[in-house]
Amino acid sequence: MAFHQPDGVAPDYAASGLRAGEDGCVYYGLQALALPPKEQAVLHLLLTRSPLSVSKDDFAEQVWGGRSMSDESLTRCIHKIRHLLRTLPGAGNVTSLYGRGYRLTAVSAASTPNQRLLSAAQAPSPISEAFLYARHLTLQRTPAALAQAEQILRTTIAAAPDYAAARIALAECLGGGSSWGVNPQPELLEEGLQHLDAAERLAPVTVGLNSARAALLDRAWRFREAEAACMRALRDNPDDADSNFHYGWHLLAVGRSEDARTALRAAVQLHPYAVLMRITLARAHAHAGYPDEALREAEATCALAPDNEMAELYLTALQAWRQPTAEVVESAWKLALSRQALTLAPAILSYALARTGDTEGALDVIGICTRCGAGNACTNAMHAASLLALGRADDAMVLLQAAAVARCSLLPIALHDPANAALKQHPAWPALLSAIFGSQA
């Protein structure tokens, strides 16, 4: 995939917002603006001086070359520039300063809905299409989809290293794989944070940057830093669905389930067709002690996306917790044996079997996953609820302690799951909490 920096553009141009090129042109994202020479030169001067103002004398000297410049000609240029900027989300505006001239002022990215996608789309079509498809794959959370998304994004970054949106998307992909037990290695979270650092150097105001950082920090158990990043994301982009979602995830991880419901409701309202956001809202209802509401949300999500195995898997888990039946076990078997099975599907199967009294079947599934190399410390720990249902609290604690040593990203949320509530009576519980949350436990 070939991608080249336009000739003469300053090397620090970003994938969103305006940048002044060394060739005298102004770029929005990676595209030169189509402006007549005078308007191009006026905007270029405003941009290089921003946030300072530019006087009429400066325009006359630097744009008109010292030749006569009428107020009317400058006003015409400013009018055309303002008209163009209104069509470019987040590009800013030109304000008049009485007696001083004009100034280019920034506009908050939060003022424009879907600013993140609009900004990312400023790249050439092959690059932006790769970004959009990789994000779609990341949200599926299956091992195959996450692997494909990671490959696409790494290829995109190699071809377009200055495309900040791809670096943010790769960080989100690595965080998603970690939280679903696909790639739980802590070093991948660190790599994701390094990509976010690079993205911040390229485009410090890119929507999604702070929320992606918050997500990775949460998965690395750096909860105080994650909360600060969430606050920055919501301050800058309160109407961004991802920012609200990641804040909800953070609140679930630290045990603030009621607050998580509020944040996740906001995320779902902003992005009502996002399956991952809706099932996380259902989880928040369950954690906060509203099982019926959790079931209704999960059922509604399945109705909205009837072929989505992620939605079906979480509904099956809730049914196994609240209404364990043979039909629930059948659904769990189907999801565990699917060609696109999610990594957490075997744990839901063992839980459904345990809840319906099939001790031998549940232990067989757990044994295959934990002793035969089919899982990892993170996915193994998700069988703790099954072992608790079988009255094997000590065995459940062993799996959770191993996950803590491996710094499993999903472990903080799993510990707050009502299916694991009985573990709070285990003598090793305080030490486990301290290992994860430290002084925040």
Mean pLDDT, consecutive 10-residue stretches, the chain (441 aa), reads 35 51 83 89 89 87 89 89 81 75 67 61 83 93 94 95 92 93 89 94 82 96 96 84 95 96 94 96 98 98 95 98 96 95 95 98 95 80 98 98 95 96 96 87 48
What is the model's pLDDT at position 114? 63
Contact assessment for residue 230 and residue 211, using Cβ atoms and an 8 Å cutoff: yes
Identify the pLDDT of residue 32. 84
Q: Is 149 helix (H, G, I), strand (E, B) or coil?
A: helix
Which pLDDT belongs to residue 373?
60
- pLDDT score of 406: 93
Report pLDDT for 138.
94
Query: What is the token pair recorded at 385?
Result: 């609820």
**AA identity, residue 115:** Q
User: Residue 90, by phi and psi: left (phi above 0), alpha (psi -120 to 50) or beta?
Assistant: left
Q: Note the pLDDT of residue 6.
A: 38
CB atoms near residue 98 (< 10 Å): 5
Residue with tokens 């305006």: 18
Q: Determine contact, residues 190/171, Cβ cutoff 8 Å.
A: no
Structure tokens at 388: 């608790």
Place of tokens 């249902």: 389
Residue 356's contacts (CB-CB under 8 Å, 6 or more residues apart) are 320, 324, 325, 326, 328, 329
Assigned token pair, 264:
């996740």
Dihedral angle sign, alpha carbons of residues 276, 278, 281, 285: negative
Is domain 33-107 annotated with CATH 1.10.3720.10?
no
What is the model's pTM? 0.76
In this prediction, residue 272 carries a pLDDT of 94
Residue whose structure tokens are 């993170």: 378
Instruction: For residue 204, say if its preceding peptide bond is cis, omega within 30 degrees of 0.
Output: no
Owner of token pair 């436990």: 441
Q: Is cis: bond before 36, omega within 30 of 0?
A: no
Buried-exposed string 368-394: b where 16+ CB fall within 10 A, e elsewhere: ebbeeeebbbbbbbbbbbbbbbbebbe
What pLDDT is recorded for position 99? 66
Q: In angstroms, rounded to a whole number, what is the distance separating the alpha carbons of residues 408 and 186?
A: 8
